[in-house]
Structure 1
Amino acid sequence: MGGLLFDFAAISYLNIPFIIAHLIPGNFKYNNRYQHILKISFYSANLLFIATNFVDIIYYRFTGRRSTYKMITAKGMEHEVFGLIPSFLKEFWYIGILFIIISILFWKLIPDLNKNPTPQHLTKRDYFIKSSYLILSITVLVILGRGGFQKKPIKIVDGIKYGALGNTALVLNTPFTILTTIAKKEDLDNVNYYSSKELKSIYNPVISLQSDKPATKKNVVILILESFGNENIGRGQTPFLDSLITKSYYFKNGFANGKVSIDAVPSILSSIPSLMNNSFISSSFSLNKINGLPKILKKEGYNTSFFHGAFNGSQNFDQYTKIAGFDHYFGKDQYTGKEAFDGTWGIFDEEFLHFYATKLSSFQQPFFSSIFTISSHNPYTIPEKYKGKFPKGTTTIQESIAYTDFALREFFKTAKNQSWYNNTLFVISADHTSSGGDMDIDKTNIGKFRIPILFFDPSNPEFMGINEKNFQQIDIMPSILDYLNIKTEMVSFGKSYKSPKNFVVYYLQGTYHYIQDDYYLVFADNQTNGLYNWKKDVLLKNNLMQQEKPRVKEYEKFLKAYIQSFNERITNNQLAF
């Protein structure tokens, strides 16, 4: 029933122009050409938006949300779209066939035109009656478009009222999410839960690191692994990473701050979470001043670089690295080595990681560098010479996950023989989870964000073990700086691994997800919709809102302050001092 509400809203928004064109009084409508144009326009416009639903049948598996206008028009994403469509059509051919069938049926269902329409002689009374029909029809469509007579029109976030937790995308439809975001200029709403004084007392994102020890000028290498969610770890696909975890400081309860690659980079490198419907990199705030790891470490004398094996311009990473303050950017265009193009995105991980290791050896120390792998991205292509070498696993992605794990092993083999290896802190994090695990626990709103995060320092055997605190991508930046004893002040929405705080915040299409200790709170449309003990109730079946009212109130207070602080600093360009 909730789904129908959003369906009618989308149909109404889209078809108001056609209702007007059909019902506006006048003999010009009896022209055959006019009617042909109207029929073809009606068919084309509606079919285009129907097509977006078919796309999201598949794309939702990767993003965890319905597509919005800004998602499909974001600068730097055009290569992503054109790269995905051919591979999607090849892998999910049945979706294309189903769409063609629907297209034909839709055309057949539109009534045929009267070949010889007869113009009418219209009196004033006829004009009045026909105008009344027009006004009444528009009024009905506006009411349907608003979702009823309530004060405000229905929004994307209202989907949570009609669907079980994690199933709101079934209630929504993609035409609705696109149409309702076309005219929205800003990515954030102004919220004023607290005064400035109250806000700082509840939550303040300014972190001051003042170590009494001298700074350790170790090199820092951050490896961001495409789609290496928890659903792929410890299940036979990642023997090297599983082994490395035992020699590292491993955050067992690691979380991504977004569901797409473009969210991960600002989260990991600048401690900026993805708390908007649009990614920070492609938002209207992308040119804000930021003070992330590149700028902070550059002040400490570090050479800084970012590597991404995809084509230059992919995900707007090249532009982001300029704003973030990196000295160098290396993409597919800068790669030198044997031919290793994967046919879709860029350079296979094995060759690009080898290129990466050799380039690191050319940099003056200390250096800070990050690399983003690409081979475990749809269509999950691996080199021909390795076909049949790696286990297929239980999901389509896992063979390519195994290949990238192998490429990671080869990278560390090369790195071990370099002079800089023992003086380097390696940080490994997935960008986000993959399109779906094979266990129910992977499919919850907790499981969809759980990723491996680990710190590996080959020169410090004491820095290893399992940390069971809640840890997120935005905690990586302050944790690195704290580990290196670097004195600095920064705006960070995360916290250091040494901090007693134990929270995680992430966001998905109008809903905030807040984890504190063993509890998980769902907050949307200014109210809590669920509280769960995620450690005991792993499938999130038992809503504790009524039994734990004081806890709900406490968590809401913090989360509201967190949201207000984020929104204010983003909109007021206060991410750096």
Structure 2
Amino acid sequence: MFDNLRRRTGLLYPIVSAMGVALLVMTLSRAGLALWQSDRVTAAEGWSTLFLSGLRVDLSALSYLFILPALVTVLFAGSGTVGRRILQCLRLFLVVALWFVVFMELATPSFILEYDVRPNRLFYEYLNYPQEVFGMLWSGYKLELFIGFVVSNLTLWLAWVWSGNWIENLKTPRWYWRPLLALLVVIIGVGGARSSLGHRPLNPALVAYTTDPLMNDLVLNSAYSMAFALKQAESEDSAFDYYPNMGRQEIIRRVRAAVSLDSSEFVSGAFPTLANHRASFRGKPKNLVILLQESLGARYVGGLGGLPLTPNLDKLIEQGWNFNRMYATGTRSVRGIEAVTTGFSPTPARAVVKLNDSQRNFFSIADLLRSHGYHTQFIYGGESHFDNMKSFFLGNGFVDMQDFPTFEPLNFKGAWGASDEDLYIKAHQQFTKLHDEGKPFFSLVFTSSNHSPFDYPKGRIQPYNQPDQTRENAAKYSDWALGQFMTKARESEYWKDTLFLVVADHDSRTYGDKLVPISHFRIPAVIVGEGIEPRQDDRLASQVDLAPTLLSLMGISDQHPMIGHDLTREVPRQKLRAMMQFYKNFAWMNEDNEVVIYTPERQAMGFRYDPETSCLTPMALPREMERTALANALWGSLAYYQGLYPGVEKQARVARQESGAKLPQGLAAP
């Protein structure tokens, strides 16, 4: 059989053989993943679709992968010196290509366990931080590393042996047949890659068939999934590429109307959301500390009806201003940082922490508070360059980076750096020092112990479950460290002058069979400090509401472009909302738990969300709500690409231009 195939395919035999092996690997991997997730596949009624559409995607991916080497082979490979060199290069390419396909499928189960999708942009972004990632893998994934090492080496060996056989004794066509073969390769390759006669080539949206994101991802293969993410990253995803279009003026009008401000408060023609915000607190401005909790969804917080892992946070929930219906804007730490420190609404693109055009002159509360004379700092037990945090922070108002190299001595070092107890010891030292120096300060303190592989020192807590290194035990340890810090803070001199926000960046492992698994976006958020009365706030709220609320509580009145609500004031019920970005899907939920969801290249879908069962029941929604949701889904991309979210310096520059004032010498126009 193989000799007959070799005879019929000639120079293309090595590529046809490699494509066959790769197709087998992808199919077997998809079958294994489908059996693993069989309940969800059955619920989505997707067994036939999964494999038929999966075959289409696999053939498209392999066409992209092999079209160029196939073209070069039929044109130049042969028995001569150059031809033999071409075949040797082809052999190397086939080995690497097969290894890549196997490696990506091998990495898929662990990635699904963590993110409930196939490897995507997150996968290759983590490759930018080999030290942190390898430390995490070595600490918590030794078995996976061993299996990966063995299978990768076995793949390289087999591919090398097989490819050596494939390139031997090939039938070489006469020269006049080569252009025709090349044309045939292009036609078949391009047709296979496009996999469609329509205007657009095959893309994930064309093979999506269910509201369960993982099931749609299983149709793909992991090499295609990551390659597509890389392609999209080149143009920094825009909401306008995915959702229905809307005119600029309507977007601005609807976004402004959704903010709880009088239209007279908006102050700039250049920056549509720049407005005057008057603080509700009239006393001496307070310090601000944001304690950003890694991966702490509401389901891990006893005080919010979750697991009994957070007795110290539960006490704060009883003692402070607690938001019972607070929702994160996304599923990554950088998205949480984006919402909490800049108030920027989420988009399908990466968070602004990582985007090129937001590294300078982009609004953040650090920049605003620095203009009010505050010392602004970031305290983190790991390396602050991770996820581009250091670059973004230093370019947008933070002046003091207190990260792992500044920690000494340590009680415990984990895969991500200093433990949370060391982090809080450092924070307490910094706040005491700044208070003694008479400096008002803003500090963002970011925990890391509640992150895979869940390293923490023994003897601090009674483990909730076994083995010791579980998400639940890490959450319990992180809460223990928080309790130790809050005890010291209450006894400190800086307590009476400082406002504290304890908030999660996102839930851990946001997953589910919904277009947007809303229950996994609910997070804890509580404000404590001198003068903060106990309050259980049941209003619907979003992470983007926190920064305006904190500035108001601190006593900072100023102009800023944030569209979040100041929750110290009465907000009209019809304006309460939460916005959530789940990969490329955008959800807008109102106070009545009515939800509009926009997905790529589709019209709006309406649902009613049941917080008790986490179910989304389809329903018709008013067109006005759909249009307001769309405007807010598009606003972030519009603001980013058109520079409408300015830092303090840029605000001042443009204000002088708008007023006709002459710019100081050397100050360039924006």
1:352 aligns with 2:423: yes
Q: Deviations over 1:114-145 (max 9, x none)?
A: 68627757263xx1xx4334323332232232
Matched with 1:466 is: 536
Give the letter aligned to residue 70 of structure 2.
I
Q: Distance in 1 between matches of 2:601 and 2:594?
A: 19
Q: Distance in 2 between matches of 1:436 and 1:396?
A: 17
Q: Distance in 2 between matches of 1:58 and 1:504?
A: 30
| Pair 231,28 (structure 1): closer, same or farther in 2 beyond 3 Å | farther
Give the letter aligned to residue 608 of structure 2.
N
1:316-395 → structure 2 map (5 Å cutoff): 316-342=388-414, 344-363=415-434, 364-386=438-460, 389-392=462-465
Matched with 1:146 is: 194
1:136 aligns with 2:184: yes
| Pair 77,490 (structure 1): closer, same or farther in 2 beyond 3 Å | farther
| Pair 392,477 (structure 1): closer, same or farther in 2 beyond 3 Å | same
1:261 aligns with 2:333: yes
1:448-487 → structure 2 map (5 Å cutoff): 448-461=520-533, 464-487=534-557
Matched with 1:558 is: 628
Give the letter aligned to residue 235 of structure 2.
E
Q: Deviations over 1:351-383 (max 9, x none)?
A: 221121111011134321110011111110111
Q: Distance in 2 between matches of 1:300 and 1:322?
A: 17
Gaps of 5+ in 1: none
Give the letter aligned to residue 217 of structure 1.
P
> What is the aligned counterpart of 2:111 among 45, 59, 63?
59
| Pair 508,351 (structure 1): closer, same or farther in 2 beyond 3 Å | same
Verify the 8 A CA contact 1:32 1:115 in the aligned structure 2.
no
> SS of the counterpart of 1:27?
coil
Give the letter aligned to residue 474 of structure 1.
V
> SS of the counterpart of 2:424?
helix
Gaps of 5+ in 2: 1-51, 257-272, 652-670
Matched with 1:542 is: 617
> SS of the counterpart of 1:86?
helix
Q: Distance in 2 between matches of 1:105 and 1:554?
A: 61
Matched with 2:509 is: 435
Q: Distance in 1 between matches of 2:135 and 2:521?
A: 25
Verify the 8 A CA contact 1:18 1:42 in the aligned structure 2.
no
Matched with 2:317 is: 245
1:424 aligns with 2:492: no
Verify the 8 A CA contact 2:325 2:539 in the aligned structure 1.
yes
Q: Deviations over 1:12-33 (max 9, x none)?
A: 2112123224433653589655
Verify the 8 A CA contact 1:532 1:540 in the aligned structure 2.
no
| Pair 213,252 (structure 1): closer, same or farther in 2 beyond 3 Å | closer
> What is the aligned counterpart of 1:516 among 579, 587, 590?
590
| Pair 212,474 (structure 1): closer, same or farther in 2 beyond 3 Å | closer
Q: Distance in 2 between matches of 1:236 and 1:58?
A: 27
Q: Distance in 1 between matches of 2:210 and 2:403?
A: 44
Q: By how many angstroms is 1:91 displaced?
A: 5.4
Q: Deviations over 1:519-555 (max 9, x none)?
A: 22221124346322112673435322xxx1x42x223
Q: Deviations over 1:336-360 (max 9, x none)?
A: 3345322x22111112211211110
1:24 aligns with 2:24: no
Matched with 1:164 is: 212
Verify the 8 A CA contact 2:348 2:585 in the aligned structure 1.
no
Q: Deviations over 1:222-247 (max 9, x none)?
A: 00011111221111211111221111
Q: By how many angstroms is 1:101 displaced?
A: 9.2
Q: By how many angstroms is 1:38 displaced?
A: 1.7
1:506 aligns with 2:554: no
Q: Distance in 2 between matches of 1:78 and 1:109?
A: 31
Verify the 8 A CA contact 1:276 1:507 in the aligned structure 2.
yes
Moved more, 63-72 or 245-254: 63-72
Q: Deviations over 1:46-86 (max 9, x none)?
A: 32243233324223444454444586247964444333343
> SS of the counterpart of 2:499?
strand
Verify the 8 A CA contact 1:13 1:179 in the aligned structure 2.
no
Q: Distance in 1 between matches of 2:79 and 2:189?
A: 24
Q: Distance in 2 between matches of 1:78 and 1:351?
A: 24
Deviation above 6 Å: which 4+ runs of structure 1? 440-444
> SS of the counterpart of 1:280?
coil
Matched with 2:660 is: none
| Pair 305,78 (structure 1): closer, same or farther in 2 beyond 3 Å | same
Verify the 8 A CA contact 1:304 1:328 in the aligned structure 2.
yes
Q: By how many angstroms is 1:331 displaced?
A: 0.2
Tell me the number of residue pairs that the alignment of Structure 1 and Structure 2 aligns.
562
TM-score w.r.t. the length of structure 1 is: 0.87
1:197-208 → structure 2 map (5 Å cutoff): 197-204=249-256, 205-208=273-276
Give the RMSD, CA atoms, in angstroms: 3.2
Q: Distance in 2 between matches of 1:114 and 1:528?
A: 49
| Pair 169,27 (structure 1): closer, same or farther in 2 beyond 3 Å | closer
Matched with 2:237 is: 188
Give the letter aligned to residue 155 of structure 1.
N
Matched with 2:362 is: 290
Percent identity (aligned): 18
Verify the 8 A CA contact 2:94 2:163 in the aligned structure 1.
no
Give the letter aligned to residue 202 of structure 2.
I
> SS of the counterpart of 1:362?
helix
Q: Distance in 1 between matches of 2:612 and 2:195?
A: 35
Q: Distance in 1 between matches of 2:466 and 2:513?
A: 17
> What is the aligned counterpart of 1:214 among 269, 279, 282?
282
Q: Distance in 2 between matches of 1:474 and 1:424?
A: 21
Q: Distance in 2 between matches of 1:441 and 1:132?
A: 48
| Pair 443,404 (structure 1): closer, same or farther in 2 beyond 3 Å | farther
Give the letter aligned to residue 632 of structure 2.
Y
| Pair 279,247 (structure 1): closer, same or farther in 2 beyond 3 Å | same
Verify the 8 A CA contact 2:211 2:515 in the aligned structure 1.
no
Q: By how many angstroms is 1:283 displaced?
A: 2.0
1:226 aligns with 2:290: no
Q: Distance in 2 between matches of 1:432 and 1:284?
A: 23
> SS of the counterpart of 2:237?
coil
Matched with 1:2 is: 53
| Pair 253,121 (structure 1): closer, same or farther in 2 beyond 3 Å | closer
Q: Deviations over 1:298-324 (max 9, x none)?
A: 233322211011024222222222122
Q: By how many angstroms is 1:446 displaced?
A: 0.9
Verify the 8 A CA contact 1:221 1:425 in the aligned structure 2.
yes
Moved more, 332-341 or 181-190: 181-190
Matched with 1:178 is: 226
Q: By how many angstroms is 1:427 displaced?
A: 0.4
Q: By how many angstroms is 1:201 displaced?
A: 2.1
1:41 aligns with 2:115: no
> SS of the counterpart of 1:272?
coil
Matched with 1:280 is: 352
Verify the 8 A CA contact 1:208 1:490 in the aligned structure 2.
yes
| Pair 519,50 (structure 1): closer, same or farther in 2 beyond 3 Å | farther
Q: Distance in 1 between matches of 2:380 and 2:589?
A: 31
Q: By how many angstroms is 1:186 displaced?
A: 2.3
Give the letter aligned to residue 148 of structure 2.
G
Verify the 8 A CA contact 1:237 1:393 in the aligned structure 2.
no
| Pair 521,238 (structure 1): closer, same or farther in 2 beyond 3 Å | same
1:97-136 → structure 2 map (5 Å cutoff): 99-100=151-152, 103=155, 107=159, 110=162, 113=165, 117=169, 120=172, 122=174, 124=176, 127=177, 130-136=178-184
